[in-house]
Amino acid sequence: MREYSPIESALYASFDNLLESSLVEIDFESVGDFTDPSAGKPAEFDERPEWEDVILAGLLEATPWITELACSWRSAKRKKTPQIRGEFRVRNIYDALLKPAPDLAWEKAPDDEKRLVAEFRTIDETPRSGAGLLTAIRVQKHVDPLQIWYYDKDLSRYPGNATDYVPLDIDYVEYMKNLAVTKGIFGWQYLFSDVSLSGLDRQVVANLEAMLDIFPTVFPEHDYTPLRDRLEARR
């Protein structure tokens, strides 16, 4: 039996942490089937002209070898403790790359927005909660590492934000590492963007503040100092 990679182990452990914690209520959880991302998939990319000169190096080490790992959760209701929520749904990176681009741009959207979204492939999403959030890897030729973008259907409603799409300053590997730490709490991706948290809905910031107050005690195996520093830098 193969050994899990460090990132894969962290993702599975994070998933188990949520299911086992008395401070968390699970709305939905799913563990898919084992799949070997290296079995035939790289060759399939080599044979398709649209993937020529697209650099996929480094993705394999960070992807879970599974068709789906998903969890929608909320903190258990307790007096004087703010409720926080989160969700994630990730899969084998090669399966994600071979799926169509997410249907995000409306019919009358500008052409540059349509071109941007056409290059997206979803790597993380929130289908159960209906939060309208997803993270995509942007497929571009001769780009290494491939960019990671975050979509929030409400982002452009807030002052100072022209679109619902924001690039993140982490790659796929770092995204998966931080997903394991944050457990998919809503809005964690903003800590890796240039979006000012002061311009977002107060609930987004409250969610992040509560995470950094509660998680270090509940999940002491992770160091939350870097995330706390990022929160303060984006206020």
Q: Grade residue 81 by pLDDT with cuts at 50, 70 and 90.
A: low
CA distances from 23 to 26, 72, 136, 142, 227 (A): 10, 14, 30, 45, 21
**Do 180 and 153 touch, CB atoms closer than 8 A?**
no
Q: Are strands 133-138 and 148-152 parallel, antiparallel or unpaired?
A: antiparallel
pTM score over 0.85: yes
List, for residues 108-159, the tens digit of each pLDDT value.
Answer: 889 999 999 999 999 999 999 989 999 999 999 999 999 999 999 999 888 8
